[in-house]
Amino acid sequence: MKIFLDSANIDEIKRTKEWGLLDGVTTNPTLLAKEGNDPVKQLEQICNIVEGPVSAEVIGLEWENMVKEAKELRKIAENIVIKIPVTLDGLKAIKILEEEGIPTNATLCFSPLQALLVAKAGGSYVSPFVGRLDDIADDGMHIVEEIVQIYDNYAFDTEVIVASIRHPMHVLISAQIGADICTIPFNTIAQLVKHPLTDVGLKRFLEDWKKLEAKAKR
């Protein structure tokens, strides 16, 4: 399973890359607004660091504007993937862009049927938002399971990016289900490595080593 960082923060992106975990990055208007810089310059900086795909979202709601914006965003770097909302206009924009060789990531996906349509339109990626489904007492991970099943049934090439991840269980279940990618916030990536028994074990090893050193000095 590939790991993407769900962030537009340069420091977080650099640190995740240094840990050897960065397969790609996803951004959205909220994440770019949080950084407060010119979004094009911010995306340029991100693309200079990241070797894998970097998702950047269009703002337009009509397919013509989506396609126009997508072409502008692609001028930033070759690894830009265009994030497009799952609407009828979005599906049309996905079809046009993919036919022109521009990869898309269908965003704000909340149902397996939406994901089916994205695959039919030829989208490179689909992003089910699991945390936001859990927020309304739905079951985000169950939707991912259904999408993976449908894509397997018909051998669709569209990759599933599990998005709106809130905690490590979302990542674990994604890997068990066989989702292609998880896009994870920085804090959750850091949580994945934590285990209390690792900390306790490390403390004990160091204490025992110090005892051995003290004995050797006597």
Catalytic site residues?
83
User: Which residues have CB under 8 Å from 165's CB, separation 6+?
Assistant: 6, 130, 131, 171, 174, 182, 183, 184, 185, 188
Nearer residue to ligand G3P within complex by CB, 29 or 60: 29
Give min distance, CB of 122 to ligand G3P, in A: 21
DSSP 159-184: EEEEBS--SHHHHHHHHHHT-SEEEE
User: Which of 163, 169, 213, 207 is closest to 191 using CA atoms?
Assistant: 169
Interface residue list for ligand G3P (CB under 6 A): 6, 26, 28, 127, 129, 131-132, 163-164, 183
Give min distance, CB of 55 to ligand G3P, in A: 8
User: Which of 140, 123, 41, 36 is closest to 87 using CA atoms?
Assistant: 123
Give min distance, CB of 188 to ligand G3P, in A: 10
Q: How many CB atoms lie within 10 A of CB 125?
A: 27
Nearer residue to ligand G3P within complex by CB, 83 or 96: 83
Nearer residue to ligand G3P within complex by CB, 85 or 112: 85
Q: What is the largest CA-CA distance in the chain?
A: 80
Nearer residue to ligand G3P within complex by CB, 68 or 111: 111
Give min distance, CB of 70 to ligand G3P, in A: 18
Work out the angle between the directed axes of helices 88-99 and 63-74 (0-180°, nearest 10).
Answer: 40
Nearer residue to ligand G3P within complex by CB, 26 or 70: 26
Distance CA 189, CA 137 (A): 24
Strand partners, 24: 4
Give min distance, CB of 71 to ligand G3P, in A: 23
